[in-house]
Chains A and B, each alone.
Chain A
Amino acid sequence: MNFLVHLIYLSPLVAGVGIILGLPARRTAVTAAVIAIISALIVFIGYDRATGGYQFASFLQLVADWDLNFAAGVDGLSATLLLLTSIVALAAVWLAPKVDEGEHRYYACILLIAAGAAGAFASLDLFFFYAFHELALIPTFLMIGIWGSGNRQGAAWKITIYLSIGSIILLIGLIGLYLLPSPEQRTFNIVKLQQLASSGAFSGPGSRSVYFLLLLGFGILVSLFPFHTWAPQAYASAPVPVTMLHAGVLKKFGLYGLLRVALPLMPEAARHWAWLLLILLAGNILYVGLATISQKQLDLTLAYSSVMHMGYIFLGIASYNVIGLNGAALLMFAHGLSIAALFAMCGELRKQTGTLNYLDLGGLATNMPRLSFAFGLATFASIGLPGFANFASELLVFFGAFKNSTPGAGFNEFQIVGTIALWGVVISSVYMLRAYRAIFMGERQARWQTVQDMPLSLGWAVILLIAALLVVGIAPRTVLDAVEPGIRLFVK
């Protein structure tokens, strides 16, 4: 069964290469995505929640004296994220528009991005964990530059340089992490690393600075305030599939890294830096939230909102208890789906109307009932309406933040930030509702008479995403029961 895990990232990878070498683009891509999602589903369902731990694991030793392996395997968290990846990837490939020139390159790039994300989530080895993620960098650069919209070149440059710097910082941090234990203990194997952690190999004096590097590196990749400015422009002008994959999946890599590497290995350092993280994430929620309100265009609004919502996940991580961390994990999943759906439909709107400016649009629901219905669902999902996974996870995040307090006492920093985050829910409903109303409701301008409803291909993709959201939202245990044991392992 272990090959299934490899299938999840190898099928897009191989398909991507194959497409470059000249296989029929779309058919291959869809096939690969379907294979990936099926195997991801099997892995997710087949993951034995009772025993927990890493399953479907397989190791291929590469360098003995570094203990560097090509290792893949899943625990609940990565199984969830792999599922997310393959869902979004399928959706992205499915709704990819007709490309007149360089179709092969287009699909290959999508697949490579997906493969990069999946590989990073599936990998149990620090080296490849890092390597796979950065694999997606160049395809993103190419796609934004070639098929982007608006100021695409500027956006492509900014995201690429910014992320490359972020990841080099991260790389140095990881190297530091690798060098922390005594020479004979050093290993890239994440499983062994976590066993080492219990023996206190990472509690040395260096651990705090290493954790800081990791926090910085991962933070940049997740657009942690104030390192977030690469995100809005890039997401606004990237082609839809890229935005879906990047905002929905790839961005989660940083958070995944924190949950998988930084927190379990260096709990003491994590608690030590919690205050910093709290301040920054408050910036994400409050400051970026307000900035979102001031946006005048749908794509920018969505992009900013995706930056803002990272704040909640960081809050769950910062609170560092079972509730908060589970909330963070679940929210990664939920946000990935909802933002992907939103961007997908945003792209359709752009195609239909050529503008995303609130002043130009309005009353489109008359022409596009299906789109507006789906968009409404996604909107309310993203502002945390019960029934969608986002609500359950945000709920957990809040409770997690309030867990770190002495009963009946005054507010400590966690509760203050938690309150801010709670206010963020109001903020996000302000801008999302305004956006929805400005675009779909109210009087329809004459020039939108001819706008068509969304095509079926997009429809299916969106249904896939939203259905997943609803299922997990109504029955969160499907995910949480898988994630929880892994988290309980390192949270005392």
Chain B
Amino acid sequence: MTFPPIFFELFVLALGMLILLLESFSVKEDRKIFAVIGIIGLAIVFVFLQASAPGPSGMASYVVDSAAIFFKKVVVLTTIVVLIMSIDYADTIRRFLPGGSSQSGLGEFFALPVLTCAGMMWMSSAIDFILIFVSLELVTISFYVLVAYMRRNAASLEAGVKYLILSALSTGFTVYGITWIYGVTRQTNLIEIEHVLPSIPLDNQPGVLFGALLVLVGLGFKIAAAPFQFWVPDVYQGAPTPITAFLSVGSKSVGFIVLLRVVQAFQSLPAVGDRLITAVILLAAATLLYGNLAALPQTNFKRLLAYSSIGHAGYLLMAVAGIGALDSGQAVVVYLAAYLLMTLLSFLVLVIVSAHGEGDDIVHFNGLAKRSPFLAFGLLVAMMSLAGVPLTAGFLGKFLVFKVAFETRQFLLLGLGIITVGCGFYFYLKVVKAMYWQPPAVNLAAIPVSKLSLAAIVIMVLLIFVLGIFPQVALGLMPTG
């Protein structure tokens, strides 16, 4: 059976509210139950999403194409994993919340991601700037809350404020950009805009380009593209780890779907479209370099992941810049799928290790291979995939991106790619080195892993290899074009 597509969001929304209600009426149940409820609910949604097919939505501002469905799946999966992490992370949360009971504030912590997930799902279907703006803000605001969630933890709050101000700034630019696009084209709907653009008078091209660039800036902020990435390392480091994962996967992927739609829409007017592409190429170059180079000297694993997420944004932008090629969208999709798996996997391991360790510096992973080989292997796979070793998902992504870049003759980016991949090998393997070469720290105790996390890790490791060895699985995620 199939619903009208809009129902998925509503279901997720209802799920979030259900958790809130349970939270407010429950007395002494273990709040982790709620997370499990959320996971189950989202799993059901995922199943239905899997079953659902592209089709007309009956609304002008809301579209259900294969891309939308794919990205909805991505965010739902992400949210599931984030909830799993949150369960492992709950103790840390409690420590930093002022609470009478030991349960205080947990229910909301599980509910907010679900609501955010709903926002992201809306975002991935939005093709009207108004809807885009609103859902974008929904996501952003809930992230304000989540990032700053640990009130007793100065770092978390500082991250919150930084995210708040900078994000609001980028919102300002986005809105101003939308204004100009609207002003020139008289439209807020991307499809309409695509139709109208070729007919706009020559004098207005700067105006619409100006608007498009400002929108690009706003989205660049969301996907952590240089030079709008400065919030990323600080916020990633300060925020609760599950939220960091959520930020780096969820909000980045929806940012990319919107970016793709916008850039695509503007291709109808080459004079503007080509310059927009140039802009994207510039951003891609800056992002590649910044993310990968600045990661080289990192010693904090969470920050390292932040820089790596910047770097990967660079590769993704390469693919976006190749939008002229037939399968650039496909490249983005596959890369994001791979990125989702490997990033979430590393964050999951990070949460588990740092929950039983001293902190989240790389040195805290020393000798992990001896302490608990399973976790070490999981992280090894994640790192291999992030670095782009063949037969892992990460390689397939890089392969597609480079293919697209070569097809569209972006030799500058390819050249940078050579350098950055080298750097990538260096700083990802630094973690591997810590786990496998270094002797373990004082406490050799094996780290306990909950059933749920164990299952998650196994599944993700398997998926990474499956995607890497059988590309058709990944390519099936979204048909070409």
Contact = CB atoms under 8 A, between A and B. Distances in A.
**A contacting B, Cβ–Cβ less than 8 Å:** yes
B471 A141 contact: no
Given A134-B390, A138-B389, A175 B432 contact: no
B406 A172 contact: yes
B399 A171 contact: yes
A65 B369 CA distance: 41
Contacts of B388: 168
A142 B418 contact: no
A161 B426 contact: yes
Interface string B38-49: 000000000000
Contact of A153 (B369, B414, B437): B437
B339 interface: no
Contacts of A135: 389-391
Contacts of A137: 389
A127 B469 CA distance: 10
A160 interface: yes
Contacts of A20: 377
Q: How large is the interface on A (under 10, 10 to 19, 20 to 34, 35 or more residues)?
A: 20 to 34
A272 B403 CA distance: 26
Contacts of A134: 389-390, 395
Contact of A175 (B380, B391, B402, B475): B402
B406 A175 contact: yes
B418 A63 contact: no
Contact of A179 (B380, B403, B470): B403
A44 interface: no
A31 interface: no
Contact of B402 (A131, A132, A172): A172
Nearest to A144: B437
A102 to B, nearest CB: 8
Contact of A165 (B384, B399, B403, B422): B422
A175 B403 contact: yes
A108 to B, nearest CB: 11
B240 to A, nearest CB: 31
Contacts of B433: 145, 153
A144 to B, nearest CB: 10
Nearest to A143: B436
B443 interface: no
B433 to A, nearest CB: 6
Interface in B408-455: 414, 417-418, 421-422, 425-426, 429, 432-433, 436-437
Contacts of A142: 432, 436
B373 to A, nearest CB: 9
Contacts of B380: 138
Given A62-B470, A141-B429, A161-B422, A146 B407 contact: no
A45 B377 CA distance: 40
Nearest to B468: A131
A135 B384 CA distance: 10
A13 to B, nearest CB: 10
B480 interface: yes
A134 B414 CA distance: 19
A68 interface: yes
A168 B390 contact: no
B425 A161 contact: yes
A69 to B, nearest CB: 11
B295 to A, nearest CB: 14
B375 to A, nearest CB: 14
A165 B418 contact: yes
A37 B380 CA distance: 30
A176 interface: yes
Nearest to B470: A62
Given A157-B426, A171-B399, A62 B432 contact: no
A356 to B, nearest CB: 23
B2 interface: no
B480 A168 contact: no
A178 B404 CA distance: 12
A160 B471 contact: no
A180 to B, nearest CB: 10
Contacts of B199: none
B101 interface: no
Q: Which of B369, B407, B433: most chain A CB closer than 10 A?
A: B433
B480 A65 contact: yes
Nearest to A217: B418
B406 A160 contact: no
A342 B414 CA distance: 40
B472 interface: yes
A164 interface: yes
B407 A179 contact: yes
A176 B422 CA distance: 20
Contacts of A164: 387, 421-422, 425
A178 B399 CA distance: 12
Nearest to A176: B406
Given A157-B426, A164-B425, A165-B422, A62 B389 contact: no
A168 B426 contact: no
B426 A62 contact: no
Contacts of B417: 168, 172
Contacts of B402: 171-172, 175
A63 B475 CA distance: 8
Given A63-B472, A135-B389, A168 B418 contact: yes
B391 A165 contact: no
Interface of A: 20, 62-63, 65, 68, 102, 105, 127, 130-132, 134-135, 137-138, 141-142, 145-146, 153, 157, 160-161, 164-165, 168-169, 171-172, 175-176, 178-179
28 contacts: A62-B470, A63-B472, A65-B480, A105-B369, A132-B390, A132-B391, A134-B390, A134-B395, A138-B389, A138-B429, A138-B432, A145-B436, A145-B437, A146-B436, A146-B437, A160-B429, A161-B425, A161-B426, A164-B387, A164-B421, A164-B422, A165-B421, A168-B417, A169-B418, A171-B399, A172-B402, A175-B402, A176-B406
| Top 5 closest pairs, chain A to chain B, by CB | A131-B390, A164-B425, A165-B422, A145-B437, A168-B421
Given A105-B369, A131-B391, A169-B418, 18 more contacts: A62-B472, A65-B480, A105-B436, A131-B395, A135-B390, A138-B389, A141-B432, A157-B426, A160-B429, A161-B422, A164-B425, A165-B418, A168-B418, A168-B422, A171-B399, A172-B406, A175-B402, A176-B406
